[in-house]
Amino acid sequence: MNPFQWLVLLVSFPILYLQSFKLRHADFDTRFRSLQKACRSLLKAMEIELEVIISPKIDQKEVYYLVSNHQGTFDPILIMASSPFTHSFISKKENLKIPVVKTWGKLIEFITFDRSNFEQNVAMLRQATRMLKDGRSLLIFPEGTRSRGEMLLPFKEKALSPAYFAKRGIVPLSLKNAYTLDKLGFKQHKITLTYHEPIAYSDLSEMSYLDCADHLSKIIASV
């Protein structure tokens, strides 16, 4: 990002933080759509060009487990701004130390995990399964951390298990050039976010976690 974009970001976050308190008693869809509108306004103010490609085979009324690569800090904002349906996120616990993220996380009901705590990670996967079964879509970054580039890191295949247990399809997401937002500079890169064709649960059930992770990696890296 260039210095102007950083300035817009620094000015916007306190405003967004205060606005989010008005949403505490709203229903989930209202909270999500309000935050989505805020994310779109933020990207527009920062003059970030985002191209969104959505497969026509996605049923926006269906419940999906969304699986995305993770390139940079702004990935959740890019996804929030472009998502065709409401959903929650799985996020590492450390992110909630950031005041704005903590507030937004509560509003859209983040499920958190602690990479150093096996029992908490198991509990996180169970909670994710319950959320999918209860009818809410959910997004995860199965690399577990930012790649900070175009290279796709190995997926943690057990992170895909909630889709199996909840018997929900998976929508792969591909972020391209999102990592450039973490770099200081004046050169602008068009960022692309692709929502691929869903993989039905009937197809998932024929794959092992490892095979599924490999299949998803190939789809996500194909863009």
Question: According to the model, what pLDDT value does residue 54 have?
Answer: 98
Nearest residue to 126 via CA among 117, 141, 113, 142: 113
Parent domain of 29: 3-221
Question: According to the model, what pLDDT value does residue 189 have?
Answer: 77
Which residue in this structure is represented by tokens 């995305």? 68
Averages of pLDDT over runs of 10 residues in the chain (223 residues) are 68 70 89 93 89 97 97 95 97 85 90 87 95 98 94 96 98 96 76 98 97 98 95
Which residue in this structure is represented by tokens 């989930």? 28
Specify the CATH number for the domain of residue 78: 3.40.1130.10
Q: How far is CA 96 from CA 92, 93, 133, in A?
A: 8, 6, 25
- This prediction has a pTM of 0.92
Question: According to the model, what pLDDT value does residue 183 have?
Answer: 84
The total number of structural domains in the chain stands at 1
**Identity (one letter) of the amino acid at 115?**
R
Q: Are 72 and 179 spatial neighbours (Cβ–Cβ below 8 Å)?
A: yes
Q: Are 128 and 89 spatial neighbours (Cβ–Cβ below 8 Å)?
A: no
Q: Measure the CA–CA gap between 207 and 156, rounded to whole angstroms.
A: 15
